Structure 1
Amino acid sequence: MLMRMVHEGMRAGDGDRETVAEQLKQALDQGRLDLSEYDERVQKAYAAKTYGDLEGLLADLPGTVPVEKAQVEPHRNAVAPEPENRRRPGRSAFPGMLGVFLVCVVVWAMSSLGSGEWHYFWPGWVLIPVVWALVAHFRDRGNRGH
């Protein structure tokens, strides 16, 4: 009881007044309030100085129960499903990395041909993880059946 009295006396902020006004707008849209009652309550909401002033404006509307009075349990986070593109056992990263390497080689070749001279073969650096993926692919190949 004391906590509620302290809460009612606390100063309300602009965000609190906006939240109440939005809930009143929803009640108007749902036909729960007529236009004159909505106008009266919105004026009181924007004039409210404390939470106690705001509390009575929503008391008779369904779906606007304050959190501290709600009897519904808060949502518990469920375990998120595993993304489809996540690497699964037995799935090789080699084809994707090889594709990236080939795109880099095409970019290098086009830039070299466009300038009329062969540039430093920088896609060779991209080849390093491709080789690692190829080695892992063949190393894991024997373990897939187990």
Structure 2
Amino acid sequence: MGREGMRAGDSDRQRVADQLKSALDEGRLDLNEYDERVQRAYGARTYADLDGLLDDLPGTVPPRQSQMQPHIPAQHPAAVPVGKAERGHSGRHTFQSALTAFLICTLIWAVTSFTSGHAQYFWPAWVLIPVIITGVGAFTERGRRGR
């Protein structure tokens, strides 16, 4: 299968749309032609569908003449090996962030309860759930590290 038959990705379609927008801003395309080409670009399934949308515009590289770059999949954070020092710090940092959010929400609740003259429903308790979860995770991680 040649390049023309290969599926175009979102980034390929967006790159062509960006180049068309530049051509519109420069006055090289009128609004109707820009709209028609952008619709074709976003509707493109293959590189062949993108061909011809930029051919008559100066300073653009048509998709079929551009160099293909291999896709490098992002690694999931759990798959990346982490040193022992970083593991504990990450769990502590997450716990501290969640605890800070809980304390800020509790402060907001206290101010609104005080200004209204009576205690409001303690909604920060819902924010406490992630604090407990991250605290347990940080605690168990510290226990594993100690072994």
TM-score range, shorter chain: 0.3 to 0.5
TM-score by length of 1: 0.45
TM-score by length of 2: 0.45
Which has the greater radius of gyration? 1
